[in-house]
């Protein structure tokens, strides 16, 4: 059809060009764990649509016939909110400040949540700063001329979202976002992630202790691939890989932060024991979001967990006065014994067995644990305005049944403990002081079935971490059927 139009209306010369531009019929991006995240600012024709009416489709040719299939999509609304400060649990609270109280403080763009003091987005429709997310693997090919539109949508409201892999020439896919007429579920009958936020004390707004913790939780995220448990803000204490033949035991002691090895004056336990507040707890079909602030004298320091079907992204925004150094590492549990630790600097691997190993201090680009318990890839990167931070960051590694360094919290051993030690004084990062620096850490954890041939892990993990460093390129355009 498209070629005939070209010949009739535009002449023979254009036929070659149009043939070269034939719509690509399938999604050729091979990043199954990657989300595609865009914002309302790139979807102007959908701005003003109720989030519950934003739906998505893939287009594929089946036997030459255009076929539209609905795919899960999620709108996560965002709003500006002041951080505030906890003036006391009984202090009257207002929406629009993360702590619900406190005098004038800086504001930041936050995920909106009517069940926290951040509150609902003042604009209840899709607006420029709201995020729209679907999984790259759910995309399809490009809908060519004559493909028509899916049923159940507002005619002419479609936006083509193209996502391309900058590491693989020509690998690209598409999804089509639409406003529905009201009869379609944006989840498309799917639910990739299940998040239960459970405070032991009761409902958040009624029972949280903003001024002084702890605030115990039995919260957890479950997907077909993994389960993660959280026992408080900053306390991520259980990882179970559920994919394939993984045994499903809890291999994690904790995701840990300290100023330095063997120094427990500040740790996740003291963060949870100090002041703090939740930003958002969101459980959608595509991802869950768990975001909170408050780490002792950094009351606005923030951690946001973005939990997808196969992967957890942990974003940490340091907002604190000058500190001497910082660590971010994973301490595994005795149940991780029998796994093999590998990294970009130790690709051959060492045994996770409670006996120390010759792992150097060069910071790796990826780390991995693999064994009958499951497979974990992790990537830990920092973006910062502090000069020389990367050069001063080294690998911290301990595999000791009886550790020489204090545990600070958790169990009594350090099993395959591995991560980053920023051995550099960090200037003030608190935006309530002028002239502040920025430090943002991003740790991405991928969970998967045990790999039958673990010698392939270095190649797989290197490719995965290179993908993380080179995100999909996302472009949007109005779709004219």
**Interacting residue ranges for Ca ion, rule: CB under 5 A:** 77-79, 121, 123, 127, 129-130, 253, 331, 351, 353, 355, 357, 399, 410-411, 414
Q: Which is nearer to Ca ion, 69 or 345 (CB)?
A: 345
* Angle, CA 41 vertex, CA 38 and CA 44 arms, to 5°: 110
461-to-146, 150, 342, 367, 458 alpha-carbon distances in Å: 42, 38, 10, 8, 5
Q: Which is nearer to Ca ion, 132 or 472 (CB)?
A: 132
CB burial string 357-391: b at 16+ within 10 A, e below: eebeeebbbbbbbbbebbbbbbbbbbebebeebee
- Least distance in Å: CB of 48 to Ca ion? 10
| 3-state DSSP of 303-336 | EEEEECCCEEEEEEEECCCCECCEEEEEEECHHH
Q: Which is nearer to Ca ion, 165 or 253 (CB)?
A: 253
CB burial string 12-34: b at 16+ within 10 A, e below: eeeeeeeeeeeebbbbebebebb
Distance between CA atoms of residues 236 and 378, nearest Å: 15
15-to-22, 146, 364 alpha-carbon distances in Å: 11, 17, 51
- Least distance in Å: CB of 109 to Ca ion? 8
- Least distance in Å: CB of 331 to Ca ion? 4
Q: Which is nearer to Ca ion, 127 or 310 (CB)?
A: 127
Q: Which is nearer to Ca ion, 58 or 337 (CB)?
A: 337
Q: Which is nearer to Ca ion, 119 or 140 (CB)?
A: 119
- Least distance in Å: CB of 250 to Ca ion? 12
Q: Which is nearer to Ca ion, 101 or 118 (CB)?
A: 118
| 3-state DSSP of 426-463 | ECCCCCCCCCCCCEEEEEEEEEECCCCCHHHHHHHHHH
- Least distance in Å: CB of 413 to Ca ion? 5
Distance between CA atoms of residues 185 and 48, nearest Å: 18
Distance between CA atoms of residues 94 and 225, nearest Å: 38
Q: What count of other Cβ atoms lies within 10 Å of the Cβ of residue 459?
A: 10
C-alpha closest to that of 333 among 360, 371, 362: 371
- Least distance in Å: CB of 193 to Ca ion? 22
Distance between CA atoms of residues 163 and 321, nearest Å: 40
Q: Which is nearer to Ca ion, 210 or 332 (CB)?
A: 332
- Least distance in Å: CB of 49 to Ca ion? 10
Q: Which is nearer to Ca ion, 129 or 283 (CB)?
A: 129
- Least distance in Å: CB of 292 to Ca ion? 20
Give φ, ψ of 264 to 5 degrees.
-110, 15
Contact of 95 with 276, CB cutoff 8 Å: no
Q: What CA dihedral angle connects 190, 50, 29 and 67, to 10 degrees?
A: 70
- Least distance in Å: CB of 52 to Ca ion? 12
């Amino acid at each position: 059809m498209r070629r005939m139009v070209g010949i009739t209306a535009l002449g023979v010369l254009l036929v070659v060009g149009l043939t070269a531009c034939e719509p690509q019929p399938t999604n050729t991006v091979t990043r199954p764990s990657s989300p595609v995240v865009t914002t309302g600012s790139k979807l102007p024709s959908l701005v003003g649509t109720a989030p519950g009416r934003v739906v998505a489709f893939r287009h594929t040719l089946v036997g030459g016939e255009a076929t539209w299939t609905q795919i899960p999509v999620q709108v996560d609304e965002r709003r500006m909110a002041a951080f505030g400060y906890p003036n006391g649990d009984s202090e009257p609270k207002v929406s629009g400040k993360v702590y619900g109280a406190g005098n004038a403080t800086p504001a930041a763009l936050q995920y909106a949540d009517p069940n926290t003091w951040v509150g609902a987005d003042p604009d209840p429709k899709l607006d420029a700063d709201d995020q729209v997310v679907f999984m790259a693997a759910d995309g399809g090919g490009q809908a060519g001329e004559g493909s028509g539109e899916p049923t159940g949508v507002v005619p002419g409201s479609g936006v083509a979202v193209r996502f391309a892999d900058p590491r693989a020439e020509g690998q690209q896919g598409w999804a089509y976002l639409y406003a529905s007429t009201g009869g379609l579920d944006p989840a498309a009958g799917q639910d990739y992630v299940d998040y239960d936020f459970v405070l032991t004390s009761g409902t958040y707004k009624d029972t949280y202790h903003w001024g002084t913790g702890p605030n115990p939780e039995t919260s957890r995220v479950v997907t077909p691939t993994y389960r993660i448990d959280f026992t408080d803000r900053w306390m991520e204490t259980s990882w179970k890989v559920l994919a394939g033949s993984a045994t499903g035991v809890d291999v994690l002691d904790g995701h840990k932060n300290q100023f330095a090895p063997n120094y427990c004056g500040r740790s996740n336990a003291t963060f949870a024991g100090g002041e703090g507040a939740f930003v958002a707890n969101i459980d959608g079909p595509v991802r869950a979001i768990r975001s909170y602030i408050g780490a002792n004298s950094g009351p606005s320091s923030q951690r946001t967990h973005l939990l997808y079907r196969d992967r957890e992204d942990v974003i940490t925004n340091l907002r604190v006065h000058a500190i001497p150094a910082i660590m971010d590492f994973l301490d595994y549990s005795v149940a991780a014994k029998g796994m093999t630790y590998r990294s970009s600097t130790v690709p051959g691997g060492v045994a996770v067995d409670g006996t120390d190993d010759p792992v150097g201090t060069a910071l790796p680009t990826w780390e991995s644990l693999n064994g009958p318990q499951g497979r974990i890839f992790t990537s830990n990167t920092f973006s910062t305005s502090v000069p020389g931070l990367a050069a001063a960051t080294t690998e911290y590694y301990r595999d000791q049944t009886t550790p020489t360094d204090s545990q600070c919290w958790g169990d009594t051993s350090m099993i395959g403990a591995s991560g980053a030690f920023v051995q550099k004084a960090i200037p003030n990062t608190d935006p309530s002081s002028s002239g502040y620096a920025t430090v943002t850490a991003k740790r991405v954890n991928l969970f998967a079935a045990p790999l039958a041939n673990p010698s392939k892990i270095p190649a797989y993990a290197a490719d995965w971490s290179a993908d993380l460093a080179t995100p999909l390129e996302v472009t949007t355009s109005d779709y004219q059927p």
